[in-house]
Amino acid sequence: MGWSPPRYDGGAPLTGYIIEMAPGNSIDFVEFAKVDGKTTEFEAKDLREGQSYNFRVRAQNSIGISVNGTKLPEPVTASPSFGKPAVLWLFEV
């Protein structure tokens, strides 16, 4: 998945992004991964093939973490990618 940096950073440079995941139609997101503030792409690996997932990305800086983050518009279903299920998507934080 890939994303664009937020339009407003609260006055402090981004230090990272938190990628969160919820299985199926669940709204209970849990932290899945973290990347630095310059990274705007992430490949979700080791997912269960055929399982659907919701993902969202939250921006982080010295002021805090974005409240809601940006969620993919709809759940995605993991499919094989070079032998391991993965999800690829592009959206704006």
What does the alpha-carbon distance between residue 47 and residue 35 come to, in Å, rounded to a whole number?
18
Q: What is the pLDDT of residue 86?
A: 47
The domain limits of the chain are 2-92
Q: What is the pLDDT of residue 33?
A: 95
CB-based contact 72:78 (threshold 8 Å) = no
Q: What is the pLDDT along the chain (93 residues), one digit of tens a residue?
A: 888 888 888 889 999 999 999 998 888 999 999 999 999 988 888 888 889 999 999 999 999 998 878 877 778 888 876 444 444 455 555
**Cα diameter, the chain:** 43
- CATH code 2.60.40.10 for 2-92: yes
Task: Sort residue 15 into left (φ over 0), alpha (ψ -120 to 50) or beta.
Answer: alpha
Residue 59 has a CB neighbour count (10 Å cut-off) of 22
Q: What is the pLDDT of residue 30?
A: 94
Q: What is the pLDDT of residue 81?
A: 61
Q: What is the pLDDT of residue 85?
A: 45
